[in-house]
Chain A
């Protein structure tokens, strides 16, 4: 009997402890004399923000205002982050992978200013879509056409599960079209479709994000990896280099940043948020991004670091493909080229 009661008490105690622990998790800290800023970013620039930019900004704010600033950081896939903010995650500043993810927040009425009005059209970092290969490039992969070869296995993330992954297929599509770089010939849709199909046929695994795709490649799957240049440069910096080639024709990736008006007004954090975004445009931050593998959006800093970032022969932008709205429709819509190509391949046509 006593034994049973002991067990009962012990269980009850554990239960009570669990409830208490859960309840205390909901509590908020006391008053905070410092400024706080909530940054919602996509996962790729995490290291740059966490290790370099945010500590530097905190010193900068201390010198300028004599106040401490706590920067709370959240890193998620760009689309998920964007939806979280729309759904009520009260980020003061968003740093995302693509325009559409910021526009979703604009459409929800949370960003009320024109975020393109900032320097460099509202973008703070750039990158390219490149092709990662095995050491010493044993399959001699030099350009997109090589990825359609039957002896090559390809990895790229799924454009359906990762907005950022659309950059990869966009790059292949644009290269096939023959746009950008002062091209004068009419876009070759049939050729582009054939290239997209040829490469999709060689795709072995479609991970849900760019970073996971790199991880799968590191596990030994595939001969070629379509991904972002900055992702591979970051790996090199971390001592796990993956060699890569820059195709002759590829797309310029541009990553936006914006202050979320409704949240900063609610938190009274507009001043620090605006200063943070302004700071991202400054030399220190631009250098930090370059250090972590991004091409700086600042033309001046880009010139300084250009030896690390060779220019491809034919560089095109999303605008050359007709803009995001059109690309979403013509490539990934229900009757989009990529959607159809995947269906055809599954049916063995």
Chain B
């Protein structure tokens, strides 16, 4: 009796822990299901309601696929820029302290906090025909606002924090012994970065890139302000979707939304795969 009691208590405790783990898992999955998966599923169901033929017809409209093509191209270009510049920014912040670093650090999060329509407005104030920079450039025949460069600037602004914020903590935790060892063995600084630091940072860079890609696909508020929105020229997919909703073409809007959704899902999955592959190779 005396001996069995603690064992029973331990078993009960173990069962309790299992139960609470189960409860936690249910709570977490229920939450993501209710607030993320359910709306997305509703969108997909509505988009497919009229059958794949009408979905394809909606996508075959020149305005639809041109806007999608523009949006995906820009989002991919932003991955290229953000991975390089974001990693550089994180590197400088962590490894090369400078006066005012905390201010710059705070500045990086700013794009998250600013309503995107204000982002658009800021760009117009700066690069618009009445802006300081805009007037200088337009006198030289360079158009920024109401043209594609305007869209790129808006997307750069709103996606800038992702890679920096993904890479920075990993870089801070990185053990510098390996780098020092490599340097002692005669590796150049570039080799050390490429062979030692970069592989460790890669998963974080990929995460940041994936987030920035998805964000660029869906960005609406700032883009509609600065793009000019001429169909087949400067109209991005989210702006096209908005127009189709406004003109009561829900099928067209849902079809394009579905492509945006699947596109971002695809990239997220691919980048996740790359991460796990990279990790396995390390191990």
Chain A residues engaging chain B, CB cutoff 8 angstroms: 77, 79-80, 104, 158-163, 203-208, 219-221, 332, 334, 342-343, 345-346
Contact partners of B157 in chain A: CB under 8 A: none
CB-CB under 8 A from A332, the residues of chain B are 247
Q: Are B242 and A208 in contact (CB under 8 A)?
A: yes
Nearest CB in chain A to that of B145: its residue? A221
Given A205-B146, A219-B124: A158 in contact with B243 (beta carbons within 8 A): yes
Please, which residues of chain A bring their CB within 8 A of the CB of B146? 204-205, 221
A residues less than 8 Å from B63 (CB atoms): 342-343
* Closest Cβ neighbor of B62 among chain A residues: A343
Majority secondary structure of chain B interface residues (helix, strand, loop or mixed) = loop
A160 to B62: give the CA distance in the assembly, Å.
Answer: 15
For chain B, the bracket of interface size reads 20 to 34
B interface residues (Cβ-Cβ under 8 A, vs A): 61-63, 66, 124, 128-130, 146, 224, 228-233, 239, 242-244, 246-248
Assess whether B228 is in contact with A161, with CB atoms less than 8 Å apart.
Answer: no
19 contacts between A and B (CB under 8 A): A80-B246, A158-B243, A160-B243, A161-B229, A161-B247, A205-B229, A206-B229, A206-B231, A208-B224, A208-B229, A219-B124, A219-B130, A220-B130, A221-B128, A342-B63, A342-B231, A343-B231, A345-B232, A346-B66
A220 touches B246 (CB 8 A): no
Q: Which residues of B contact A158 (CB under 8 A)?
A: 229, 231, 243
B239 to chain A: which residues have CB within 8 Å?
161
Q: CB-nearest residue of chain A relative to B66?
A: A346
- The reply to whether A161 and B232 contact each other, CB–CB distance below 8 Å, is no
Q: Is the CB of B130 within 8 A of A334?
A: no
Q: Which residues of A contact B243 (CB under 8 A)?
A: 158, 160-161, 208
Given known A-B contacts A204-B146, A219-B124, A346-B66, A160 and B244 have beta carbons under 8 A apart = yes
Q: B residues within 8 A CB of A342?
A: 63, 230-232
Interface centre among A80, A104, A206 (most CB of B within 10 A): A206
Contact yes or no, A346 B246, CB < 8 A:
no
Compute how far the CA of A151 lies from the CA of B98 in the bound complex, rounded to whole angstroms: 51
Residue B230 contacts which of A77, A163, A206, A221 (CB distance < 8 angstroms)? A206
Q: Roughly how many angstroms separate A19 CA and B117 CA in the complex, as a whole number?
A: 27
Query: Chain B residue with minimal CB distance to A160?
Result: B243
Residues of B within 8 A of A208 (CB): 224, 229, 242-243, 246
Give chain B nearest CB distance to A104 CB in angstroms.
8
A80 partner residues in chain B, CB cutoff 8 A: 246
Contacts A208-B243, A219-B124, A345-B232 supplied; 19 other A-B pairs, CB < 8 Å: A77-B246, A79-B246, A79-B248, A158-B231, A159-B247, A161-B239, A161-B247, A163-B246, A203-B230, A204-B228, A205-B229, A206-B228, A208-B224, A208-B229, A208-B246, A343-B62, A343-B63, A346-B230, A346-B232
Closest partner residue, chain B, to A334 (CB atom): B61
Of the candidates A77, A161, A162, A346, which one forms a contact with B233 in the assembled complex, judged by CB atoms under 8 Å apart? A346
Q: How far is the CA of A68 from the CA of B66 in the complex (A)?
A: 55
The interface residues of chain A lying within 8 Å CB-to-CB of B230 are 203, 205-206, 342, 346
B134: nearest residue on chain A (CB-CB)?
A: A220
A208's nearest neighbour on chain B, judged by CB, is: B224
Closest to A346 in B: B232
Verify A160–B130 contact, CB threshold 8 A: no
- Interchain CA distance A163-B243 in the complex, whole Å: 10
Of chain A, the residue at the smallest CB distance from B233 is: A346
Q: How far is the CB of A345 from chain B (nearest CB, A)?
A: 8
List the B side residues contacting A104 at CB < 8 Å: 248
A150 to B234, CA, bound (A): 20
CA of A129 to CA of B224, assembled, Å: 24
Are B61 and A220 neighbours in the complex by a CB distance under 8 Å?
A: no
User: Shortest Cβ distance from A2 into chain B, in angstroms?
Assistant: 26
List the B side residues contacting A159 at CB < 8 Å.
Answer: 247
Contact yes or no, B228 A160, CB < 8 A: no
Q: How far is the CB of B145 from chain A (nearest CB, A)?
A: 8
Determine the chain A residues whose CB is within 8 A of the CB of B66 once the complex forms.
346
CB contact between B129 and one of A162, A220, A334 (< 8 Å): that residue: A220
Known A80-B246, A161-B247, A220-B129; contact A207-B229, beta-carbon cutoff 8 A = yes
Which residues of B sit under 8 angstroms from A204, Cβ to Cβ?
Answer: 146, 228
Question: What distance in Å separates the Cβ of B217 from its nearest Cβ neighbour in chain A?
Answer: 20
For residue A343, which residues in chain B have a CB less than 8 angstroms away from its CB? Answer: 62-63, 231-232
Shortest CB-to-CB span from A68 to chain B, Å, is: 36
| Assembled-state Cα–Cα distance A343/B239 (Å) | 17
